[in-house]
Chain A
Amino acid sequence: MMEITEGSHAVAEAVRLCRPQVVSAYPITPQTHIVEALADFVANGKLDAEYITVENELSALSACVGASAAGSRTYSATTSQGLLLMTEVVFNAAGMRLPIVMSIANRAVGAPLSIWNDMQDSISLRDAGWLQFYAEDNQEATDLHFLAYKVAESKEIQLPVFVCFDGFILSHTYEPIDMLLQEQVDQYLPKFDPAEKLDAKDPISFGMYATPEYYLEFRYEMDQAQKRAKDVIAKAGKEFGTMFGRDYSALTVGYLLDDAETVIVAMGSVCGTVKDAIDEMRAAGKKVGLLKIRVFRPFPSEEIAKALSKVKRVAVLDKNISLGAKGGATAIEVRDAMYGSMIPVKGYVLGLGGRDIRKKDIKEIVSLCENGIGDQFYGLRKELI
């Protein structure tokens, strides 16, 4: 059913349709509209869930750990400082193989304090064991939540998922959304039925400690599950497409890639701007394309290498920076995926702390890349440095 709605409200509605039994969250800008909407659903009987109004984000995710281990589908949402405050639990939840889904309304991290968008928060936790999905628009932000529960709860995976969408740019923007109906979601997403849970009828111990004789294998198993997730996402995304017409089987999505000479690799809402810029560059005779990364964990290395095997050069946009390393995380990992191909991969760190990224910036980056200039910040105000 088409409706025009705010990104956060669309996400909240998607979460409601997934029927979580326990919601636990702490308010933080720009995530607040999601958790307010969910509280309102519970208060008005539209969502049959326990809503735990915790005292901080560490407790928000800790309560999800308990609820998930006890056998309930659980949900939380956060961003930026809140995500970092719960970091210890983020790693813990993945290590305990609990299929929690958490929305991240991506925001910069302090200092200096910034409430505006970039992806430093979730990217910084890329090694925590969570799957990471990134939405380009609010339709995708909405749909990826259905996919997230389906994949997380798959017996082959049992890992938690971040569904990331750009704070303010998507979370506070109204767009037309094709919202699924309850019976459609129920048909796609079966009831949560974990293989193991805290249950007096069949006692097990969760979260034991492992000596050096055992620890390495626990991490190996998590990595194997991440790798298996590629196929599980492909299958669940295809099923979604068959049922509802929007296919999410691909971990990366190309735009005018076939004959492209310069390809921009990007994640999130900036992909819309990139596509518009590409259209204009194409009209001017430049063969430019886009490879959008929708799934950052598991990282689609093989898919990227294959998609970019015939291009002349690659420009990677990063709304994050691995300080002291060679640029942002995406560029570093794309370069690793392309290792041995001789195709130059240039990284551009931009848009941090909510700095606007415009079509002309994309065009300028393409020019820089064509001239072999890259692996740098883009858009610095020279008068300030």
Chain B
Amino acid sequence: MSFRDGQELFADVDLGREKFLNRVFHAVLVAASLFGFVMLVLLILDVVWEAYQGLTVFQIDPVQFLTQPSSSRAERAGFGASIVASLWLMVLTAALAFFIAVGCAVYLVEYASRNRVTRLIEANLANLAGVPSIVYGLLVLALIVNDAGLGSVILAGAIALALLIVPIIIVASIESLRAVPSSVRDGSYAMGATKWQTIRRVVLPQAMPGILTGTILALARAIGETAPLIMVGTMLHATRYPDGPLSSFSAMPTQIYNWTYQADRMFNGLAALGIVVLLAFLVAMYVIAGYLRKKYEADASLTNV
């Protein structure tokens, strides 16, 4: 007995229901992934539209916006002092967080014996990375701003942001340190290198691109953080340029936040422009991180020769 076509051969198999369900779930999944994308596009369009409104309706001068400090009078307000404050914050945060985090990661990967305590510490690092940022703000407010009497200055904000991102950098650093093959470590030890020589000359250089990528991504998160800085205390309007780590300040996100609830509608336009600048910073940092990662992967692929 032979069949001429598939329809006839499989006439007793009814796939109608299964195929219908297949299509339904396919559509649901596509919709779910589109949702995120559409929201992102809407967000960007909204910000760009608001910024455009600010430039046209309120006639905000971009040069003045980027160079002048803020003011309680919208027509004289600029974003310059906040940009500088954010740069200060980033540099100080990076300096504070990087060495502590990398030191901790090197200790956990290279020195600590694998016992219950280190496993507990590592498990808790992931939890620490998930603590709401406002908690770190409160901690710094109590211990540094008030108890230590440092006041609401850039350094205090940087400490809060550093606390926030240290666990993130540690987790990224641990990952890239573990990715250094043990054969390379063995090669160094067999040459008569000490542990520190092996770490400094072989392990860290190879792990560094991954560590730097993780650090930049963590800083990108820090630069957009608002809550901990509000807790530490910022100026309502960053009316003057900060002249050092001990100046009072309002960083980009806090200045944007403060502008959004002002009565004068022009402040909304300023806030929209501020968001564009903040997003530009974020994109730039992601690009640098992506470049580093790509370069790192290209290097790593050579080990398979």
The answer to whether A binds B is no
